[in-house]
Structure 1
């Protein structure tokens, strides 16, 4: 038995309508925006989702470090464990993103277990096998006292049947809004806890996959994983899951879970729109500065990265502008000489941050925080 999808209240319907409107506006804006901007935004949001979802499980890597790891940088100061977890999750997310328009698509045991292997294959052991249903009990322990089980998954003998039921539900069309179905899929999977490890990230990834398959926006523009990874939201996330009980009890009302997810969708849409708008204003400020300073406009890509993320590496700038190694090195050297950038570190590990003459107009826009509105609060 699975959790039944609750009926939406009038307020839920209003909030869902606002989410749809925001996503539609963003989709139209992206179509008329140079790919140089949107590619950078999507890469950042993918890295932010990976960093946030991993952080919920205790793997702490900053978003900018995840971006560097995604770019193939070797000299990033993270532990071997955090590097492995980041690259595994990024590999799975990349595959999920590629499935957004796959024509002959269906959910299956094989697909879910393959995704789990991408995520957990580097941790595969006989006791905690990757890519197959668990064969023993599983517990979510209380973070304050690991001797207490905050949640105990259903008996392993019931897992194959529950997962078969869930896969049938995933492949069916019950007429509910795709975002509501994605939220319910997250709850169903995390409650069944079908694997020995990695269930939280797999459940959040399934939600992202369903959003990708909806096709309205690229998944990295709609995923709520980054929102869930913010400390206050993570606490609320655990509170919502704990409200379902200490054991598998699917015959219950879960309207609060839907409201929690609609809030997440709404505020993540606000966040993405805000970053998109801020990125555009920063670019305009930098282009104006370039025009008055005689700088080549391609250098604005490096300055834009610094303004929006705090730093840039030579390899990222080189790839973003399609430059040779020598061209990228020369540009960054010229920007350093002009005191627009300042280098940190040596040789391969070097990156660049804002120098003393970096245009304050761009930094002011980039560093101005935005406010998020709670759609359920008038």
Structure 2
């Protein structure tokens, strides 16, 4: 771990400690913050994958309004992602551990009404990832690869929660177990891992897409997770700043190393 990343993680921990010290938070404040972050999470995660709904359009779609000129798929991507977030929040509140069943359920929600045949089903063919340096494993190896992912997660408890979440995300992306919807599912798993450790969700922004893809490629190809961990830590810090600002506890601890 670089000195820069270590300093960033320490700054995040300081901000999280300030937020934890303010608990229990006012219920209406919590509800409004959850709604704000869920909207931004949905917008950015879909935009990274090419969805053309704006943030405001995403908001009205989630309110049940159809946006003219946008495809039915783009509408489904917004409402499905909202439903998947609700599911992740539910399993976090229940203290569930990562499982293949859970991953399939998240993916099933992501592709609901878009491709019901593939929703929740591991791919039955080989694929390549455009622009990536690595090739996902043969589809015949997916059951073994996914089982190893679960075993890795169970054995990785000594890692910092943000490191573990970033690595889980990356390892899932490298396996690429589904024909479609892997990116959204991976970011939902990232935040499942963070939220169960008491962190707010990390929102990977559309404008950081190139940095995000580069850091994923570096981790998948060379095994260096520092870049993706830094990007995730910076995203967590932004979410913490939103909480602290709304609570009147601004001036969150910024690390000089945060660059994304």
Query: Which category describes the TM-score, using the shorter chain as reference length?
Result: 0.7 to 0.9
The verdict on how the C-alpha distance between 1:371 and 1:130 changes in structure 2, with shifts beyond 3 A counting, is same
Shift of 1:151: 4.9
The verdict on how the C-alpha distance between 1:10 and 1:83 changes in structure 2, with shifts beyond 3 A counting, is same
Deviations 1:22-78 (A, max 9, x none): 122223446353x3333122111111101110000011223333333333x334444
SS in 1 for 2:52: coil
SS in 1 for 2:119: coil
* Aligned equivalent of 2:142: 159
* Aligned equivalent of 1:27: 20
SS in 1 for 2:179: coil
Shift of 1:372: 11
How many equivalent pairs are there?
258
TM-score normalised according to structure 2 size:
0.86
* Aligned equivalent of 2:210: 235
8 Å contact from structure 1 (residues 141, 151) kept in 2? no
Shift of 1:15: 1.8
Shift of 1:158: 2.0
8 Å contact from structure 2 (residues 12, 253) kept in 1? no
* Aligned equivalent of 1:265: 236
Higher relative contact order (CA 8 A, sep 6+): 2
The verdict on how the C-alpha distance between 1:140 and 1:272 changes in structure 2, with shifts beyond 3 A counting, is farther
Residue 138, structure 1, aligned to residue 130, structure 2:
no
Shift of 1:10: 4.2
The verdict on how the C-alpha distance between 1:206 and 1:107 changes in structure 2, with shifts beyond 3 A counting, is same
The verdict on how the C-alpha distance between 1:373 and 1:20 changes in structure 2, with shifts beyond 3 A counting, is closer
Structure 2 CA distance for aligned equivalents of residues 119 and 125 of structure 1: 10
* Aligned equivalent of 1:115: 106
Structure 1 CA distance for aligned equivalents of residues 258 and 31 of structure 2: 34
Give the counterpart of 1:255 among 226, 238, 259. 226
Residue 106, structure 1, aligned to residue 97, structure 2:
yes
Structure 1 CA distance for aligned equivalents of residues 175 and 150 of structure 2: 12
Structure 2 CA distance for aligned equivalents of residues 211 and 187 of structure 1: 14
* Aligned equivalent of 1:15: 8
Shift of 1:377: 6.1
* Aligned equivalent of 1:364: none
Residue 210, structure 1, aligned to residue 197, structure 2:
no
The verdict on how the C-alpha distance between 1:265 and 1:136 changes in structure 2, with shifts beyond 3 A counting, is same
Shift of 1:183: 0.8
Structure 1 or 2: more strand by fraction: 1
After superposition, residues 1-378 of structure 1 pair within 5 angstroms as 8-29=1-22, 31-33=24-26, 35-71=27-63, 73-77=64-68, 78-103=70-95, 105-124=96-115, 129-142=118-131, 151-214=134-197, 216-217=198-199, 222-225=200-203, 228-231=204-207, 233-244=208-219, 249=221, 252-274=223-245, 276=246, 375-376=256-257
Structure 1 unaligned spans of 5+ = 1-7, 143-148, 282-369
Structure 2 unaligned spans of 5+ = none
Shift of 1:374: 5.8
Larger Rg: 1
